[in-house]
């Protein structure tokens, strides 16, 4: 029984309660800053009807760099108001896809429209309505925090006074008002990231592209970023996010595609993907390895035979996919297995990825 308690406590400090907390904080703070987006509540409602044309539409989308294929014929649609994710390891083709959507990378082949427009011919018009949070911060170290936003507003053809008004609102939104006149360089990674998010909102975009928005941030900074993104989503901003963190995808995305080696290997909501590709629970067993690893694996494999839907042997642990992890753990013990540690947890997108590719997601 103690085993399950451990599993649950890990679970409880993970995804679900945090998610609930967001729901609460959003309703509390909807009054804060009003960032008028084209997608107000009425259009957000309309967005949920399937009649609305997708904001992003891709069919057979390809990107090649010379002989290297970064994106190999992917299909997806992003509907207005949804939070859509690209989940996959480094090099899966997520960033290349985002750059094509952002019209800063020409499409090699296939169809891509953004806001119903062709990126090749109407790039500037698309970018005028887009917010982009790139993977690298690309902040201007020669300018102050406020000036970074001011000039960015000018790039979108806002007047200086309008740009200043929005910049101040956005600094409030990302909690950087006190740092307005500071240089960018000494800001922490989390602050820089928030500043980049503020910058991406200066043109009041209806579609926000976020390329690994929290990579390299500490847990507090990640949660603050997630919180701000969640608020934007509540206001009807469509989010398009790449990540290689499954907890991030589970937190933020209504729907996502799993990318691996330039292709989309699965698509659905986080819950659907977990239901489709893995079991409800996962039992993790760690063993003290002896000299002969192959022999060990075979031995463990034999013992677990027929005990679960599927067994995945990783270098450091064995994953047992089962509806009832506790029962599986007891059965394994009965069969004479003596693991060094046992953990029962709910299945996550990490498991989806593992079951789809047989490899760990963060490599």
Partner 1 sequence: MAVVSRASVRILEHDLLVFRRGWFNYLLAGLSQPFLYLVAMGIGLGLYVNRSGNLPGGVPYLDYIAPALLVTQAMMAAAFESAWPIMSKIEWDKTYHAALNTPIGALDLLLGDLMWIAFRTTLLSVLFLLVVLALGAASSPLVVLAVPVAVLTALAFAAPIMAFTATQTGDGGFNALFRFGITPLFLFSGTFFPIEKLPLFLQPVAWITPLYHGVAAARELSLGRVEPVGLAVHLAFLVAAIGVGVAAGRVTFRRRLVV
Binding residues for partner 1 (CB under 8 A): 65, 102, 104-106, 123-125, 127-128, 130, 132, 134, 136, 138-143, 147, 150-152, 154-157, 199-200, 203
Shortest approach of partner 1 to residue 131 CB, angstroms?
8
Cα–Cα distance for residue pair 264/1, rounded to 1 Å: 40
DSSP per-residue string spanning 88-142 = --TTSSHHHHHHHHTTSS---EEEEEETTB-HHHHHHHHHHTEEEE-SS----TT
Of 50 and 141, the one with the shorter C-beta distance to partner 1 is 141
CB of 207 to partner 1, least distance (A): 12
Of 136 and 294, nearer to partner 1 (C-beta) is 136
Q: Which of 348, 192, 356 is nearest to 261 (CA)?
A: 356
Q: Backbone dihedral region of 120: left (phi > 0), alpha (psi from -120 to 50 degrees) or beta? A: alpha
Provide the CA 47 distance to its chain's centre, in angstroms: 21
DSSP 156-177: TT--HHHHHHHHHHHHHHTT-G
Q: Which two tokens stand for residue 275?
A: 């239901």
CB of 190 to partner 1, least distance (A): 19
β pairing state of 255-260 and 83-87 = parallel
Please say which residue, 144 or 297, places its beta carbon nearer to partner 1.
144
In angstroms, what is the minimal distance from the CB of 141 to partner 1? Answer: 6
Q: Which is nearer to partner 1, 137 or 312 (CB)?
A: 137
- The least CB distance from residue 125 to partner 1, in Å, is 8
Q: How far apart are CA 142 and CA 160, in angstroms?
A: 19
Q: Give the nearest distance from C-beta 167 to partner 1 in angstroms.
A: 13
Q: Which residue has the tokens 């090749």?
A: 120
User: Which residues pair with residue 282 across a beta bridge?
Assistant: 321, 345
Q: For 208-231, give the DSSP string.
A: EEEESTTTT--HHHHHHHHHHHHH
Torsion of CA 194, 195, 196, 202, to 10 degrees: 110
Closer residue to partner 1, CB minimum distance, 129 or 310? 129
Nearer to partner 1, 147 or 182 (CB): 147
8 A C-beta contact, residue 201 and residue 209:
no
In this structure, what is the dihedral angle of CA atoms 101, 105, 108, 109, given to the nearest 10 degrees? 10
Q: Which is nearer to partner 1, 106 or 116 (CB)?
A: 106
CB 102, min distance to partner 1, A:
6
Pick between residue 139 and residue 304 the one whose CB is nearest to partner 1.
139
Nearer to partner 1, 125 or 299 (CB): 125
Report the nearest approach of partner 1 to the CB of residue 209 (Å): 9
What is the closest distance, in whole angstroms, from the C-beta atom of residue 80 to partner 1 in the complex? Answer: 20
- The residue assigned the tokens 């993104």 is 229
Output the CA–CA distances (angstroms, integers) from residue 138 to 148, 152, 192, 200, in the order listed. Answer: 10, 12, 10, 12
Nearer to partner 1, 203 or 355 (CB): 203
């Amino acid at each position: 029984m103690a085993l399950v308690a451990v599993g649950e406590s890990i679970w409880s400090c993970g995804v679900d309660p945090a998610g609930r907390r967001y729901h609460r904080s959003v309703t509390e703070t909807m009054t804060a800053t009003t960032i008028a987006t084209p997608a107000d509540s009425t259009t957000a409602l309309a967005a949920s009807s399937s009649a609305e044309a997708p904001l992003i539409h891709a069919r057979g989308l390809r990107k090649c760099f010379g002989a290297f294929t970064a994106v190999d014929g992917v299909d997806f649609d992003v509907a207005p108001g949804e939070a859509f994710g690209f989940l996959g390891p480094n090099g899966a083709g997520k960033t290349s896809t985002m750059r094509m959507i952002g019209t800063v990378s020409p499409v090699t082949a296939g169809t891509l429209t953004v806001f119903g427009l062709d990126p090749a011919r109407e790039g500037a018009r698309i970018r005028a309505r887009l917010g982009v949070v790139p993977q690298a911060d690309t902040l201007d170290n020669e300018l102050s925090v406020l000036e970074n936003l001011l000039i960015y507003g000018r790039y979108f053809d806002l007047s200086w006074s309008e740009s200043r008004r929005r910049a101040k609102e956005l600094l409030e939104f990302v909690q950087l008002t006190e740092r307005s006149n500071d240089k960018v360089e000494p800001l922490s990674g989390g602050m820089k990231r928030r500043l980049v998010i503020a910058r991406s909102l200066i043109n009041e975009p209806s579609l926000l592209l976020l390329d690994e928005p929290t990579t390299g941030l500490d847990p507090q900074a990640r949660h603050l970023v997630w919180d701000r993104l969640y608020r934007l989503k509540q206001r009807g901003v469509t989010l398009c996010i790449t990540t290689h963190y499954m907890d991030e995808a589970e937190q933020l995305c209504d729907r996502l595609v799993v990318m691996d080696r330039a292709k989309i290997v699965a698509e659905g909501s986080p819950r659907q993907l977990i239901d489709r590709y893995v079991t409800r629970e996962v039992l993790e067993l760690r063993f003290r390895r002896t000299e002969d690893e192959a022999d060990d694996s075979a031995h463990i494999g034999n013992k677990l035979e027929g005990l679960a839907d599927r067994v995945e042997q990783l270098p450091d642990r064995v994953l047992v996919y089962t509806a009832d992890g506790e029962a599986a753990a007891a059965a394994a013990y009965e069969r004479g297995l003596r693991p060094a540690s046992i953990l029962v947890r709910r299945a996550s997108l990490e498991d989806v990825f593992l079951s789809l590719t047989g490899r760990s997601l963060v490599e």
